[in-house]
Structure 1
Amino acid sequence: MSPAPGGAGAAVRVFIVDDSAVVRQVLQAVLARDPGIQVVGVAPDPLFALQRMQREGWPDVLILDVEMPRMDGITFLRKIMQEHPLPVIICSTLTEKGAQLTLDALAAGAFSVLTKPRVGLKDFLVESTAEFGQTIRAAARANTSHLAHSARSARPAAPSAPAPSATAQAAPGASLLALHESTEKIIAMGMSTGGTTALERVLVELPATLPAIAVVQHMPEKFTAAFAERLDRLCALQVREARDGERLLPGTVLIAPGGRHLQVRRSGAQYHAEVRDGPPVNRHRPSVDVLFRSVAQCAGRNALGILMTGMGDDGARGLVQMREAGARTIAQDEASSVVFGMPREAIRMGGAERVLGLTEIPGAMVEYARR
């Protein structure tokens, strides 16, 4: 029996598709330093890549650019996920257009995103070698069936509607009692790898009557605004990128901006967002632990914490703190996670009151709101 991809004694076989010869050369040179990774091929566009992979064998992980000649990366990704599902890491520059294209790729089943700068690529990749290698090995072990499911069930986003004011209040006919009760509760959610599609699958099932939801999804700067806009077009809830000082209102979802921490503070019966700079926590900014700890302190038993798919252990200790403060807590189960790292650590530490599959989480959130 041969070793599993990325397991002990097995080098992860990687194929690189990028129209830039410089990017291909730098990626090859950087990955060659990792004895656990083997670059088995490179190609300047998807059609060449497809021919080679069909002829020479499929890799364990595909590294794919988004904007390329002859066939764009997203079209190629959808084709791959339909014909031969495998983990795909998107290589994208940090531009507004690139952010939207990358979100489309994640919705189509991509495993993760590598953000490459327009200048200083070699230095950036050399500095990120360890993290990049960890991502590739995690991709090789990922639950590919969930990535393929994302590709099959990706929903087109409707045209954007004007965003409501951050200070908007409930409609005149709304129940003041319901508003008061809702502001006493808060839901905090955290996720990383595989989380963009997992969060979408949860939020689209929820009514607009839930308590305020604060979310940390590990994403680079410039990506979270486009991500929030996409979710807002798909959901009954109002979704937007969090702004410092704004109130968390029932029926709204605030997503931590990439590159900044999100915390929640309470003033009387109201919750407010604090968006802050600061050092990375658990190698991440925003960090799930930062959000969860703040919610444990300001909401205690009036909160629900949910930790979902992702690499590493960010959020595990914060979920423990939430549970110790009296909050209800949920961890996503292994069977429905793309990567089980973060929820597994929370379960191991005793932070998860319940362990639920992805399709069970929306119902649990509605149940919590109705109590």
Structure 2
Amino acid sequence: MPINVLVVDDSIVFRTKLNLSLSKDPEIKVIGTAMDVEDALKKIKELKPDVVTLDIEMPNANGFELLKTVMPTNPLPIVVVSSLPANALDALSLGAVDFVKKPEAGVVDSTETFIAKLIEKIKIASKANVKHIERPSAVQPILAQNSSSAISRNLSFNSNTIIAIGASTGGTEAIINVVKDLPASTPPVLIVQHMPATFTKLYADRLNRICKMRAKEAEDFDRVLPGQIIVGAGGYQMTLKKDDNGYYIRSVIGEKVSGHSPSVNVLFDSVAELVGRNATAVILTGMGSDGASGITKIRRLGGYTIGQDKDSCVVYGMPMEAFKLGGIVKQLPLDMIAEDLFARLKNRII
């Protein structure tokens, strides 16, 4: 059965282009188009699409209003199409499954790449478990006040401890769920979230605003310090290195690995080699297998590994592949991962 898609965009030219382009794929059937939020809400009710592609920047009511209306009560997979990275991230926080950046006007290669990515995202979204997408209003503090107070008193940890996290589809909000309440004295957290350039910087800035730890996008030769979150930059491969002064980051333009740059496997492999038993790795929601072999190396070298469980994943792909390889010590629901990390840290105080 083809994936039934509703296209929502205020531009008749762009709606027509999407309709024609998406319809060329035998696995996709465009069952309707909508010019604005009111039209879209009506057609969602009438046509019951499997996936909606949603333009955010529309006059009058914008795409955010549709997300706010649909996702809390009748969630369905929505792929956002936006020219503004900040808007795409806001849409993800409201429950959108994924996003694609609008093509640059007049650039043929940009349009072709955009269509290919949108088709890929639609197919992934059609398998998404949207009822488990967390929204800010539903997220409660993960760590109880009394349970985190011990770490807040500036206790010292093994200086070799590193936490590495990898995610893809559904990962932006899942990562926030895991890290936002970790105390400021937590050992370094290195993150790879599959995301293009520009978006990773905005995402790191968002983490910095809402987390107790400091957060930044990776830059080449960044020192890796306690209390800091480093997010791999889009289009760059991030690896962990070590010298006489401690750990640092290499962030360099490189070929895609496991289909991605940054790649979770690249980060996890480097953590496995340098940190071994002092590493803690977490693999979260996402399509494909990136990170599965890397987290398995970490476990085989004595590190502690967590995989998000099927029921709480938006897409149970990467954690499933890691589990199948024997790379997971514990499979946990998303809302239990931060507490488990905290318990692990308490046991490693020196």
Q: Mark yes or no: TM-score above 0.5.
A: yes
2:135 is equivalent to residue 150 of structure 1: yes
2:306 is equivalent to residue 330 of structure 1: yes
State the match for 2:36 in structure 1.
45
Identity of aligned residues (%): 39
Q: For residues 60-209 of structure 1, what are the structure 2 equivalents within 5 Å?
A: 60-93=50-83, 98-120=84-106, 123-127=109-113, 131-147=117-133, 149-150=134-135, 152-153=137-138, 178=156, 181-209=157-185
* Structure 1 position 122, deviation (Å): 5.6
2:17 is equivalent to residue 13 of structure 1: no
Residue identity matched to 1:191: A
State the match for 1:343 in structure 2.
319
- Cα deviation per residue 1:114-167 (whole Å; 9 max; x = unaligned)? 1222235664454465554342122122112112x4264269xxxxxxxxxxxx
Alpha-carbon distance in structure 2 between the residues aligned to 1:229 and 1:192:
18
Alpha-carbon distance in structure 2 between the residues aligned to 1:103 and 1:327:
32
Maintained 8 Å contact 1:15/1:40: yes
**RMSD (Å), alpha carbons:** 1.9
2:31 is equivalent to residue 26 of structure 1: no
Q: For residues 277-292 of structure 1, what are the structure 2 equivalents within 5 Å?
A: 277-292=253-268
Alpha-carbon distance in structure 1 between the residues aligned to 2:34 and 2:107:
19
Secondary structure of the structure 2 residue equivalent to 1:276:
strand
CA gap 1:66/1:218 in 2 versus in 1, 3 angstroms: same
* Structure 1 position 240, deviation (Å): 1.2
Matched residue count: 335
Secondary structure of the structure 2 residue equivalent to 1:34:
coil
Residue identity matched to 1:136: I
- Cα deviation per residue 1:231-259 (whole Å; 9 max; x = unaligned)? 11111111111111111111110001111
Maintained 8 Å contact 1:289/1:318: yes
Residue identity matched to 2:165: M
* Structure 1 position 350, deviation (Å): 1.0
Alpha-carbon distance in structure 1 between the residues aligned to 2:113 and 2:217:
29
- Cα deviation per residue 1:165-208 (whole Å; 9 max; x = unaligned)? xxxxxxxx966xx2xx4431100100000001111111123112
Maintained 8 Å contact 2:215/2:229: yes
Alpha-carbon distance in structure 1 between the residues aligned to 2:107 and 2:323:
38
Residue identity matched to 2:188: A
CA gap 1:67/1:182 in 2 versus in 1, 3 angstroms: farther
Alpha-carbon distance in structure 2 between the residues aligned to 1:122 and 1:36:
24
Maintained 8 Å contact 1:301/1:327: yes
Alpha-carbon distance in structure 2 between the residues aligned to 1:295 and 1:346:
16
- Specify which of 221, 230, 234 is matched with residue 197 of structure 2: 221
TM-score (ref. length: structure 1): 0.85
TM-score (ref. length: structure 2): 0.90
Q: For residues 186-335 of structure 1, what are the structure 2 equivalents within 5 Å?
A: 186-268=162-244, 270-335=246-311
Secondary structure of the structure 1 residue equivalent to 2:311:
coil
CA gap 1:39/1:123 in 2 versus in 1, 3 angstroms: farther
CA gap 1:253/1:350 in 2 versus in 1, 3 angstroms: same
* Structure 1 position 17, deviation (Å): 0.8
Residue identity matched to 1:316: A
Answer with 281-290 or 75-84: which moved more: 75-84
- Specify which of 318, 328, 344 is matched with residue 352 of structure 1: 328
Alpha-carbon distance in structure 1 between the residues aligned to 2:206 and 2:7:
28
Maintained 8 Å contact 2:306/2:329: yes
Residue identity matched to 2:271: V
CA gap 1:151/1:367 in 2 versus in 1, 3 angstroms: closer
